[in-house]
Amino acid sequence: MADLTPDLLTLLKSVDTPTVCNAIEVIEGKRGFDRFTRGTLMASDPAGVLVGQTRTARISALAPSPEAPEKVRARRMDYYRHMADGDGPRIAVVEDIDGAAAIGAFWGEVNTTVHKGLGLAGALTNGLMRDLGDMAPDFPVLAGSVGPSHGFVHVTEVAVPVTVFGLTVAPGDWIHADRHGAVVIPDGYLASLAAAIGKLHASEAIVLDAARAPDFDFARFEAAWVAFEAART
């Protein structure tokens, strides 16, 4: 985690995920970066920003686990052990294998409080959340939907690659996520993100500053856009 300095973490938490997605294209020098979620997520905190390394698992809730109770309990403890492992910011990424039929809210008052206590910074799931007024503060959850019940929720796999909203995430991946969705930050890109974000903001300012000026008109727009296209990725 040497590349994630306190200053970089502060910067990444101050920008939205579209900015990070664009900054990755600045690093690559081209468009086409596609390691991001598809579709619309629900955010427990519209202002919440998640930055960290992933801890992954799969769950199901439509029916009780067919396994012996002691095996189910042991895997759940393995899950929390995996979540707690490591230093620095961590994000839980949990795939609900019930998909569109999912009914069980894994994320509510208890689990957000426990995960926050274990040092995690938030959660990303295609599954459900509940207890919207009682979730742990400063623990953003990005979910597929909201529901009242936990169903028969149980952990099926721990520390495996998972897919949520079309994005495949491996344990230990770096992600940035907010109400827009999530992106995986490719290996080796962290150290370059601050400069890329600075370059992105500078290029966007060419058009934004012109558009906000009181004398803005088409001629000024056209000149600004030519300069913007020369500066952007």
Same domain for 31 and 110, yes or no, is no
Query: What is the predicted pLDDT for the residue at 111?
Result: 98
Same domain for 62 and 143, yes or no, is yes
Same domain for 41 and 154, yes or no, is yes
Same domain for 91 and 150, yes or no, is yes
Same domain for 58 and 74, yes or no, is yes
CB burial of residue 114 (10 Å; 0-12, 13-18, 19+): middle
Give the sign of the dihedral formed by CA 168, CA 10, CA 21, CA 195. negative
Neighbours of 151 (CB within 10 A): 20
How far is residue 70's CA from residue 76's CA, in Å, rounded to a whole number?
10
Q: Give the domain range for residue 1.
A: 1-35+186-233
Query: What is the predicted pLDDT for the residue at 171?
Result: 98
Same domain for 172 and 231, yes or no, is no
Residue 232 confidence class, pLDDT cut points 50, 70, 90: confident
Residue 179 marked as a ligand binder: no
pLDDT tens-digit series, residues 46-84: 999 999 999 999 999 999 999 999 999 999 999 999 999
Residue 73 marked as a ligand binder: no
pLDDT tens-digit series, residues 95-110: 999 999 999 999 999 9
Same domain for 110 and 195, yes or no, is no
Same domain for 41 and 31, yes or no, is no
pLDDT at 152 over 70: yes
pLDDT at 1 over 70: no
Same domain for 181 and 208, yes or no, is no
Same domain for 47 and 147, yes or no, is yes
Query: Tell me, what CATH number does 68's domain have?
Result: 3.50.30.40
Q: Which residues contact 154 (CB under 8 A, 6 or more apart)?
A: 59, 60, 61, 64, 65, 72, 75, 76
How far is residue 173's CA from residue 55's CA, in Å, rounded to a whole number?
8
Same domain for 8 and 23, yes or no, is yes
Tally of domains within the chain: 2
Same domain for 137 and 219, yes or no, is no
Residue 3 confidence class, pLDDT cut points 50, 70, 90: confident
Q: State what percent of residues in the chain have pLDDT above 70.
A: 99
